Amino acid sequence: MNIDQLDRRILRELQRDASISVEALGERVGLSRNACWRRVRLMEEAGIITARVALVNPEAVGLGLTVFIAVRTDQHAPDWLERFIKAVRDMPEILGVWRTSGDLDYLLKARVADVRAYDRLYQRLIRRVELTDISASFVMEEIKDTTTLPVDVS
């Protein structure tokens, strides 16, 4: 599906507030309610809009520490990768996992209550998969963290 400028305006508004009514969304982007609803539905069906969620303040639910975990491994067999993927997907504290180029094999982002909670996560992870090296960086100050994609940039 090719998206045009109206679709991009809809995406921008939904990223700001996914709970907005279709009527209000249409008013903001200059479309009728029905035309707006059809475009949103088409973008959902095309997989452009993948979910509508509520963003939760991590500190309000006791998850005040963000940790970036650098993982190196000398294991590259398919069965190891399956165990690793299953392990990180099963751990709700791990919010993101990326396979990277360069010195690291994987970069993980986790949210935990404190350093003790990170240590428990670490212990569970190393029990489930063999890792050559693992190191953690604790976020001291969150300067920018957004879920909003720059849909207006080409």
pLDDT score recorded for residue 27: 97
Q: Which domains does the chain have, with CATH numbers?
A: 5-45 (1.10.10.10), 58-138 (3.30.70.920)
What are residue 22's phi and psi, to 5 degrees? -65, -35
The residue type of 60 is A
Residues 36 and 69: their CA atoms lie apart, in Å, by: 41
pLDDT score recorded for residue 154: 59
pLDDT along the chain (154 residues), means of 10: 95 96 97 98 98 95 98 95 98 98 97 98 97 97 95 77
pLDDT score recorded for residue 152: 87
**pTM beyond cutoff 0.75:** yes
Which pair of structure tokens corresponds to residue 6?
Answer: 């109206």
Residues 3 and 21: their CA atoms lie apart, in Å, by: 21
The residue type of 117 is A
